[in-house]
Structure 1
Amino acid sequence: MKFRLKITLCMLGLLSVLFGVGGGLLITLSFHDSLEREEASAYNAYQMVLGTLQIVNAASEQTDYADVSETLRQLSEQNEGSWSALRLYTASQTVYEHDAADLDRPDELPALGSCSMRHATTDGDGHLLALSGALEADDETLYLDMAFDVSSLFEARQAQLWTYQWVFLLMAALCAVLSYTLARVLTAPLVRLSEASRSIAAGQLSTRVRVRTEDEVGLVARDFNAMAEAMEENVSRLEEAAARQERFMGSFAHEAKTPLTSIIGYGDLIRGQVLNAEEQTQAADYIVSEGKRLENLSAKLLELLVLKREDVSLSAASPSALVQGLAARWEPLYRAQGIELSCECEEGWCMLEPDLVKSLLVNVWDNARKAMDGRSGSIRVRCEMLVDGCRLSVSDDGRGIPPDALEHLDEAFFRVDKSRARAQGGAGLGLSLCREIVDVHGGSLRFESKVGEGTTVIAELRGGAA
């Protein structure tokens, strides 16, 4: 059963209870009030007749109650319509009777000075209010029965009940229409939520619900949109991760296949003894070169796996001392290639993993060296202290990087110029390793470059203050 139908049925049930009980109670109270007024009026009329008979009987000298009967006849003619039946009788005979065919005598004769009241029905489904009392006449007791027609009260009540039933049915129909319409309006956002959830389940992750209200339903709609947006972002990240993994596997297979093909080819030539001594030496040198490239590739992959799977503990260290100590070792090698390596460091301490930071610097410096394309140039290293770590920036005046390649630099096996990188022995994993090292330190890695002017790599390490 739909929720809107449940609301409609609840409203109908509530209307039935409240309107039914209230209306029925109002009609009943009105009927009893009218009946009580009729009873009071009938009692007064009965007491008037009874008092008149007592006066007449006291003044009369007749013993056959002729004066009493005449008095009752005259009263009936004068008060025609006030009562519908009248009977005066003794225990043995009827003294006077007027239209009393439908008036039954009481089951027990009333005592002197009392007046009993009862309700009776006629053969024509009429309703009578009967009163019975007794008076003393000489040495004998007379009994007086009077009946008043109250059928109009019962007919009025029945008419009110019929009117009430039709009004109740009309109100119920109107309530059903209004309740269903209102429930449809109130549950419309829930229907849209259901449709949106089915759409998302079918793969339409961009589906959202329009929020038009500020009530609880609107709050649910906003929370649903927030959940859908978060889910879409998570799925997008998963898809990007899957795509990167797919590219990683494809690139790894290609990187491993190229040197293996060369090694197998040259090895097969050497085994076939079809090369002279000089060619064999060249083939052996190529095999060693490609083997070292495979060794470098496996070492880089191993470092990446270690960083992804192991927890790294940071310790207090001086970035300035670390940078300057590493530069002192590498500066002679770079100077021999016509490259000037300079450092500008700010003193301070922060939380680092020294070996990983050294690996970060070596990889970035090596990329800067390769960007020179064998010509002279300069590599400038700058170290700045931050509140919660340090900032390392490495700038070179090499060939630069195209803007469309900057966002892919830290992807595994990505190389701006594949042929030049392979000739220089690069595997395309250095900056991926740098990204992992920066992530371990809770920092960020970004690149700034202009083609023909050089590149700046900025690594912010936010492992905390020492």
Structure 2
Amino acid sequence: MKFWQKTYLCVLIVFLIAFDLGAYGLLKKSYQLNEQLDISRGVSVYGSIEKSLSYILRVYTERTGITNYETVIASFAANYYKEDILLEVYQADQLIFSNAYQFVGDRAELHGDPYQSVYRKMNDELWLFIGGKMEFQDLRLVISRNSDYLQEYYATLRQYFITLSVVISLILSAALIFLLFQLTAPIRRLNKGVRAIAAGAYDRRVIVRGNDEFGELAQDFNRMVDAVSNHIETIKKASEDKEIFINNLTHELKTPITAIKGYSEFLNHANYNEEERRMAVHYIYEHIARLDVLSGKMMQLLYLKSEEVALEPVQIENLFSYVVNMERHHLEAKQMTIRIECSADEVYGDQELLQSLFINLVENSIKASSFGGEIQMRSYHYDEGVVLEVLDYGRGIPEKDIEKITEAFYVVDRSRSKELGGIGLGLSICNQIAQLHHANIQIDSKENEYTRVSVYFTTPLQLED
């Protein structure tokens, strides 16, 4: 049974019980008031009859001296019989006249002083009996009058309340159903939203207007869904990144392993001369060296993902000079030069990691540049931060690849990358190092013209100098 149905039944049952109890109390009170009024009228009639009969009997006795009153009483009683009022007269507990119903049983009205009233059922009709002592010669008078209208009144009033109860119940039922549907509409919307989200529609939100408990519940539910959705997106992104990473790693490992396997089989089974042997050994060495570089880069990338660094002052000119010294053999091989310009003197960071970052950037610039080219390494203040920059005038990067260039294993031209010894991890490592320093990398490039890689250090520590 649904919540609105339970509420509907509970309210309806409580109302019916309360209404019926109230109606019963009102009906009983009304009946009692009418009964008292009927008794009051009966007592008034009894008093009038008793005085009139006492007076007639007294005058009759004084004039005639006769003590047999039956004829006089019968003549008197005939006048009231037409009004459904019956009389009984007793003398010393002996009935001397009666035109009323006779029955055996206790007659409380015979002992009334000055009078006593009693209701009795006679032939399925309600009668009021009133009895008391007369003023004349210790006679006792009992009158009985038909009060069946009280029962009819009670039955009519009861039927009225039953009809009223049914009508009000129907009206209340319709009103309750309408109100409960309106009040529980937020619950239905919330329930619908929960089912949709449980089915995977994490973009759905529950719209419940108002500042009541339902509105607060809907807001809390939406906040919970936002948190769950963000968490799921984070997990999904991490899973996708992991899958891409593993797929790329598998691909990168497959090429050198296949080559090493092929040349090994060649050396074991083929007939070859000394020159072919040296060539095969040279290729095996190259691919082993490539695997060595790949494993080293992988370890460095994993290390960076789990490392926190302490930021210390680093002299920019010394940093650039170290990078140039480390790359001098590559520069000499392509007859290239590096020009250093330092307008900013110092940044805060981990010196070894910053060295690795700029060695990677300079190596990329050397690979992208032609013989005799120039690379610029610059530092300068920008707004409230410090910028370290590497600029080359090589083949550049296509615009469509710039956003993805910092992803692990992503390379612009795979065939040329392998020719130059690249594996697509350099800029990913650079990006990780920058993030550890709370810095960000921006790449500006135009194909076949230039590539500028700028590292923006904007944390408060960079501003202390």
| Deviation, structure 1 residue 421 | 1.6
Q: Distance in 2 between matches of 1:69 and 1:365?
A: 148
Contact 2:439–2:459 at 8 Å: present in 1 too?
A: yes
What are the Cα deviations for residues 295-342 of structure 1, in whole angstroms up to 9, with x where unaligned? 111011111222334x42424x124x1x32121123352764423242
Structural mapping, 1:410-425, within 5 Å: 410-425=406-421
1:143 equivalenced with 2:140 (yes/no): yes
CA contact (8 A) 1:7 1:180 kept: no
Q: For each residue in 1:112-169, what CA deviation from the matched residue of structure 2 results, as whole angstroms up to 9, or x when unmatched?
A: x43222221111x21122222113544xx32221223221122112112123223322
Q: Look up the match of 2:41.
A: 41
Superposed CA offset, 1:57-76 (max 9, x none): 55543665556973685476
- SS, match of residue 411 in structure 1: coil
Listed one character per residue, the Cα deviations across residues 75-130 of structure 1 (whole Å, up to 9, x for unaligned) are 7626953x63221212342233233447976147425x43222221111x211222
1:179 aligned to which of 168, 176, 181: 176
Please point out which of 329, 344, 347 is paired with 1:346: 344
- CA positional deviation for 1:214: 5.7
Percent pairwise identity:
27
Residue equivalent to 1:318: 313
Q: Measured at CA, do residues 450 and 118 of structure 1 come closer, stay the same or move farther in structure 2, by a change above 3 Å?
A: farther
Instruction: Give the whole-Å Cα distance in 2 for the aligned partners of 1:182 and 1:395.
Output: 72
- TM-aligned CA deviation for residue 404 of structure 1: 2.1
Distance 1:222 1:54 in 2: 90
Give the secondary structure class of the aligned counterpart of 1:329: helix
1:253 corresponds to 2:253: no
Instruction: Say whether 1:133 aligns with 2:132.
Output: yes
SS in 1 for 2:134: strand
Q: Which runs of 5+ in 1 are unaligned?
A: none
- CA contact under 8 A between 2:35 and 2:150: conserved in structure 1? yes
Distance 1:363 1:69, change over 3 A: farther
Moved more, 200-209 or 240-249: 200-209
Instruction: Please name the residue that 1:94 is paired with.
Output: 95
Amino acid at match of 2:324: E
Cα distance in 1 between the residues matched to 2:386 and 2:75? 127
What amino acid is the match of 2:287? E
Query: If the length of structure 1 is used for normalisation, what is the TM-score?
Result: 0.84
Among 286, 292, 295, the residue aligned to 1:295: 292
**AA at the equivalent of 2:150:** L
* 1:190 Cα deviation from its structure 2 partner: 3.1
Q: Is the 8 A contact 2:317 2:345 kept in 1?
A: no
CA contact (8 A) 2:323 2:358 kept: no
2:319 is the alignment partner of 1:329: no
Q: Over aligned residue pairs, what C-alpha RMSD do you find?
A: 3.4
Matches within 5 A, 1:234-253: 234-253=231-250
CA contact (8 A) 1:85 1:103 kept: no
Q: Secondary structure at the match of 1:249?
A: helix
Q: Which residue number corresponds to residue 119 of structure 1?
A: 119
Tell me: CA distance 1:293–1:78, structure 2 relative to 1, closer, same or farther (3 Å).
same
**Tell me, what secondary structure is at the counterpart of 2:184?**
helix
Q: Distance in 1 between matches of 2:132 and 2:388?
A: 121
Q: Which of 149, 152, 160 does residue 152 from structure 1 map onto?
A: 149
Give the structure 2 partner of residue 110 of structure 1. Answer: 111
Give the residue type in structure 2 aligned to 1:3.
Answer: F
CA contact (8 A) 2:109 2:132 kept: no
| Contact 1:65–1:95, Cα closer than 8 Å, also in 2 | no
In 2, Cα distance between the equivalents of 1:42 and 1:348?
A: 119
Q: Which residue of 1 aligns with 2:436?
A: 440
Q: 1:403 aligns with which of 399, 404, 409?
A: 399
Of 59-68 and 251-260, deviating more is 59-68
Do the aligned residues in 2 keep the contact of 1:314 with 1:463 (CA within 8 Å)? no
In 1: Cα distance, 2:439 partner to 2:162 partner: 78
Answer yes or no: is the 8 Å Cα contact 2:126–2:148 preserved in 1. yes
**Corresponding residue number in structure 1 for 2:72:** 70
SS of the residue 1:410 aligns to: coil
Aligned counterparts, 1:159-198, within 5 A: 159-198=156-195
Offset of residue 40 of structure 1: 1.9
TM-score of the superposed pair, with normalisation by structure 2: 0.84
State the secondary structure of the residue aligned to 1:130: strand
Shift in Å, 1:414:
0.5
1:54 Cα offset (Å):
4.6
Give the conservation status (yes or no) of the 8 Å contact 1:89–1:95: yes
